Amino acid sequence: MDAFILSHVEQGVMTITLNRPERLNSFNDVMHQQLAECLKQAERDDTIRCLLITGAGRGFCAGQDLNDRNVDPNGPAPDLGMSVERFYNPLVRRLAKLPKPVIAAVNGVAAGAGATLALGCDMVIAARSANFVMAFSKLGLVPDCGGTWLLPRTAGRARAMGLALLGDKMSAEQAQQWGMIWQVVDDAELADTSLTLARHLATQPTYGLGLIKQALLASETQTLDQQLDMERDFQRMAGRSDDYREGVSAFLAKRPPQFSGK
């Protein structure tokens, strides 16, 4: 079977490479299934403490492969909700729930679901030549893969509306200026910079990082009161972790901490 997803684990980092370069790494069903298998491994394996997602070739991901869809103008209307429900929604939910950092290294064009997938990762590093295209509106569709939730929260409502309604290309630098991504680096530095960040995160207190991630994501929908309760609960749990103990001991002994992720 074709390996549309390449993955390997090294030094606590699982690197996932979307691998259909001739189709700009656009998704088809098999690719979704292979990605789901990798995520299952990332969820179960405690030695994986950070996830790094990137694309093979010149693109990051061009979203859904339209060749796979029923686009016969005379045929019956396709049920696009089906693939959203079966593939994209579970993918977004699993990445959000994963209690470890997820980094997107956006190496080239990220369009449609590819753009919303990338922007939805916990930290996004983009190559200077990369760009994001909310292509949905130009086909008469709606941003999916979390797009309509994500855009107003990262770009603000006015910019989100402009991006989604026009569907124009947005440069990596524009995305950074608007605060939608973490960092832009020269193309040649992308692989090194993103891997260094991922390896650093993989040595950090993963359990605590997972709680931080859950709390920040929850804050998008919760009230201050709910959030304060959540902080109390999460702090209670974090305070019992091995890594908190190690962090305090290392601080007192003035030595670098050795975090286990638990």
DSSP-H helix ranges across the chain: 29-44, 80-83, 89-97, 113-119, 147-155, 157-166, 172-177, 190-201, 206-219, 224-238, 242-252
Asked if 189 is part of the footprint of another protein (rule: CB under 8 A), the reply reads no
Question: 3-state class of 203 per DSSP?
Answer: coil
Residue 12: which region, alpha, beta or left (left: phi > 0; alpha: psi -120 to 50)? left
Joined together, the tokens standing for residue 170 give 């947005």
Q: Count of CB atoms within 10 A of residue 115's CB?
A: 31
Minimum distance between the CB of residue 60 and another protein, rounded to whole angstroms? 33
CA 41 to CA 60: how far, in whole Å?
Answer: 22
CA 246 to CA 221: how far, in whole Å?
Answer: 33
| Pairing verdict, β 13-18 and 5-10 | antiparallel
Minimum distance between the CB of residue 83 and another protein, rounded to whole angstroms? 21
Residues 232-251 contacting another protein, CB under 8 A? 233-234, 236-237
Q: Which is nearer to another protein, 183 or 214 (CB)?
A: 214
Q: Which is nearer to another protein, 88 or 207 (CB)?
A: 207
Q: Count of CB atoms within 10 A of residue 190's CB?
A: 23
- Tell me the site size for another protein, rule CB under 8 A: 5
Minimum distance between the CB of residue 237 and another protein, rounded to whole angstroms? 5
Q: Taking the CA atoms of 120, 121, 126 and 129 in sequence, report the sign of the dihedral they define.
A: negative
CA 183 to CA 167: how far, in whole Å?
Answer: 22
Joined together, the tokens standing for residue 96 give 């959000």
Residues 201-230 contacting another protein, CB under 8 A? 230
Binding site for another protein (CB under 8 A): 230, 233-234, 236-237
